[in-house]
Amino acid sequence: MSNRKFFVGGNWKMNGDKQTLEGIIKGLNDGALDPKAEVVVAPPTIYIEFTRSKLKKEIGVAAQNCYKVASGAFTGEVSPGMVKDCGGTWVILGHSERRHVFNEPDELIGQKVKFALEQGMNLIPCIGEKLDEREANKTEEVVFRQMKHIADNVSDWKRVVIAYEPVWAIGTGKTATPDQAQDVHKSLRGWLAKNVSEEVAHSTRILYGGSVTGNNCKELAGKPDVDGFLVGGASLKPEFITIINAKK
């Protein structure tokens, strides 16, 4: 059995206002959460400080993105230092929406990984293949390429939690079967063992993301190489607590 601590991240994406988020935060503060699970939520950047001020301290707060330098003429961007100043200790990087909606290349994501770690942040870098890539049997080729750009820039693996999110399963209602998820997670662990170290492969948590719900979370969580979830839409709903408690 692995001693990797179960981890559940909630990515709220571009959703909510103070009133809505207050309700979600209250649900988490009052909810009977598995004490053995590590929980982090990622509100829209503008609500990081609001969320941190209302949320119980056991739950971490993440930014959904940050830039590769500390300051400068980068309109609309935020730096890791700004996130920390508002109480955030985590950042999601390379989410498929950043890659495929905002066209962020692997190189930029690697640069962000390097700088965010240098600035003391904890990271949730995301990887995953599109439907045409899976159908062409290129899943491993794609995720290993993405992993290399991340791994080459990691200075401290203890502060990194990898999220495998097949793009074809995000917000589509399609979910990778537990066996499909396990196969990719196992391959990723093998890649880490070969390209980083056995120790990092054994200790690094690999999350599954992509249409995780209260109905499918227990079976997914039962797979040996699935160490938790990065949850999108369901993290805005009461079922998020069911997902957090998937190992209970």
Q: Which residues are catalytic?
A: 95, 165
- CA-CA distances (angstroms) from residue 8 to 54, 101, 106, 117, 244? 19, 24, 25, 20, 6
Instruction: Give the number of other CB atoms < 10 A from CB of residue 120.
Output: 12
Instruction: Give the number of other CB atoms < 10 A from CB of residue 85.
Output: 12
Cβ–Cβ under 8 Å, residues 175 and 216: yes
3-state class (DSSP) for residue 222: coil
Q: Distance between CA atoms of 142 and 189, rounded to whole angstroms? A: 15
Q: Distance between CA atoms of 123 and 180, rounded to whole angstroms? A: 24
Rg over alpha carbons for the chain, rounded to the nearest Å, is 17
Which residues are within 8 A (CB) of 218 and not within 5 positions of it... i.e. 6 or more apart? Answer: 246
Two tokens at 203?
């200790």
